[in-house]
């Protein structure tokens, strides 16, 4: 997906240059708008890639410390945990965060459980909190 998005950004950028090169005011306006869209896409791509790299490093650090979530939950054929199993272990990790909100390890584990439960929005928020606590 990253490569496809990068290709899309390049193609939009090329079209933007072509529109601007026409010299026609409406073409220039369209070219500038396309360039802005390509720039926003590129920025978001870089931010997502950076987030992924930082989270992976944090996960490796946690695993090296022996603190990765130890609960084994059943998985589907796709490899994703079942939501019901994730929901069963969730209270344990929620309680750990409530007990020590400054602990990045607890936030990371909570993010993993949120992700397993299919709640991507909260998983990303928990991971962002883990990153901010780990760097503090």
Same domain, 10 and 57: yes
Distance CA 26, CA 28 (A): 5
- Are residues 16 and 43 located together in one domain of the fold? yes
Domain identity same for 12 and 41: yes
State the pLDDT at residue 89.
82
Q: Is the predicted pLDDT of residue 83 greater than 80, yes or no?
A: no
Buried b (16+ CB within 10 A) or exposed e, 115-124: bbbebeeebe
Q: Are residues 92 and 119 in the same domain?
A: yes
Question: Quick one: 91 and 58 in the same domain?
Answer: no
Which pLDDT score, from 0 to 100, does residue 117 have? 79
Q: How many residues are listed for the chain in this entry? A: 136
Residue 42 dihedral angles phi and psi, to the nearest 5°: -65, -40
**Which of 13, 36, 64 marks a domain boundary?**
64
pLDDT surpasses 70 at 82: yes
Residue 70 lies in a domain: no
Q: Which domain holds residue 59?
A: 2-64
Coil vs helix vs strand at 136: coil
CATH number at residue 106: 1.25.40.10
How much of the chain, in percent, has pLDDT values that exceed 90? 59
- Is the pLDDT at 72 greater than 70, yes or no? no
Per-residue confidence (pLDDT) for residue 118, from 0 to 100:
78
Query: In this structure, are 60 and 107 located in the same domain?
Result: no
Q: Are residues 87 and 43 in the same domain?
A: no
Same-domain status, 23 and 54: yes
Mean pLDDT of the region 101-118: 88
Q: How far apart are CA 47 and CA 32, in angstroms?
A: 22
Q: Give me the percent of the chain exceeding a pLDDT of 70.
A: 98
50 shares its domain with 87: no
Domain-located, residue 8? yes
Q: Mind giving me the DSSP string for 51-77?
A: HHHHHHHHHHHHHHTT-S------B-T
Same domain, 59 and 92: no
């Amino acid at each position: 997906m990253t490569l496809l998005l990068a290709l899309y950004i390049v193609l939009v950028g090329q079209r933007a240059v072509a529109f601007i090169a026409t010299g026609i005011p409406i073409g220039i306006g369209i070219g500038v708008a396309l360039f802005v869209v390509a720039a926003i896409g590129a920025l978001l791509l870089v931010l997502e890639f950076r987030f992924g790299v930082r989270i992976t490093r944090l996960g490796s650090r946690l695993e090296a410390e022996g603190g990765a979530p130890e609960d084994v939950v059943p998985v589907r054929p796709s490899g994703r945990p079942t939501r019901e199993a994730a929901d069963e272990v969730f209270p344990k990790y929620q309680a750990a965060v409530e007990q020590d909100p400054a602990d990045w390890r607890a936030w990371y584990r909570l993010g993993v459980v949120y992700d397993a439960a299919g709640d991507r929005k909260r998983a990303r928020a928990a991971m962002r909190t883990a990153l901010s606590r780990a760097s503090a």
